[in-house]
Amino acid sequence: MLRHGIASIRSSNVRSWSRVATADSVQFTSSHSRISSPIRFYSQKPHKTTFNRGTPGETSARAPRPSFATNLVTFLAVSSLSVGGALYQWNKTRQGDIFSALSSSSEGLTNEKWTPILLTKITPVSAETSLFEFQLPRPCMIPVSSAIYVKDDEIQAMRAYTPVHSTEREQETFQLLIKRYSEGQVSRFMHAAKPGKKVEMRGPVVIWPGGRQDLEQWDEIGMIAGGTGITAMLPIIHTALTNPAKKTKISLLFAAQSPEELYFKDELDQLAKSFSGQFTVRYAVDKAPLSEGEWSGYVGYVNQGMLRGLLPASKTITGATDATTSAGAQVAIKSVVLVCGPESMIRHVAGNRGASGQEPIRGVLGEMGYKKDQVFRFPN
């Protein structure tokens, strides 16, 4: 999910997390159409900043505003560029050789410039969500737990999405799951696009180390996904389950507004069946269908009752990090809990990510005793 796919205005109503239509784009002021470093990901509603079109008064999709708003936009743009540079260096260090390989080509998808990528297929999966398939100009490896920036070149806005099935092998195509929001500039742009259109993209940028060797350090991985946040989890699930060297135990709570927004449910159910004992999945919806017998999962917002007994135990519970081997020896169990979804859901489940993304864990997981070294909150 990254759909591992930028600045924020937070919703004040935590309990309405799954109903919040989070805008999905970011823009910033620049003297060039090609930016020197990617803007950092945010998991909240973006500020309105712009790319420079070259003509004063034409840099924004909105009508001119009073001087206070203009000054605020300028401040946010400068702030975004500052943190963007820091994220660029962080990702460059984290990706190492992968980053260099992806950036060296002038023909394929790269993190250094915008590349026109051909949209080949659109598959509706719910009333407001579709799966968009793209053809790469040349084969490219899209690391697990990475995101790709998509740009609306009409108003120069961009948003990061997590490819649905990224792998550790070169691939010629990739898919993005995009939900349309009324205030989402890029999501509306994409839902208006037709197959055959070329969409400007750049990336990928690694968000969390989810490659096969990275995942081998974990004995247990717990996951909480909301809506399209499942795209950040799917590549990790596939990579971990298909690793013959390490059988990492994975558990997932997938929550959505309605059953139709439990994307890839059939695929998840099949994985749970094929990897019984290693992969467990549970589902929750805001409201059960009106027809009786159509829903057997949880109903309501994510709570302790849904998570207790599913996720790896918090470190505050005595003996939670230890296991006994067949020889009777005690060994430490290394675990992590991943959270991805709408910002209001993340806040409800684990507390605000904050500017650094490393704020103390609060919300439901905080009440259960989880600490920030055991939880990772994906930006969205």
DSSP annotation of 45 reads P
226 CB-near residues (< 8 Å, 6+ apart): 17, 18, 255, 256, 302, 340, 341, 342, 345, 346
265 by DSSP, 3-state: which?
helix
**Residue appearing with tokens 């998570």:** 307
φ, ψ for residue 170 (rounded to 5)?
A: -65, 140
- Cβ contact 225:235 at 8 Å: no
Q: What is the DSSP string of 289-309?
A: -SSTTS--SEESS--HHHHTT
61 CB-near residues (< 8 Å, 6+ apart): 27, 48, 50, 155, 157, 185
DSSP annotation of 21 reads -
Cβ neighbours of 326 (radius 10 Å): 5
**Residue appearing with tokens 């409201």:** 287
Q: Quick one: residue 245, left, alpha or beta (phi over 0 = left, psi -120 to 50 = alpha)?
A: alpha
Q: Which residues are annotated as a binding site for FAD?
A: 159, 161, 177, 179, 186-187, 231
Q: How far apart are CA 175 and CA 132, in angstroms?
A: 5
Q: Which residues are annotated as a binding site?
A: 159, 161, 177, 179, 186-187, 231
* Residue 267, burial from CB neighbour count under 10 angstroms (0-12, 13-18, 19+): middle
96 CB-near residues (< 8 Å, 6+ apart): none
State how beta strands 322-324 and 170-179 pair.
unpaired
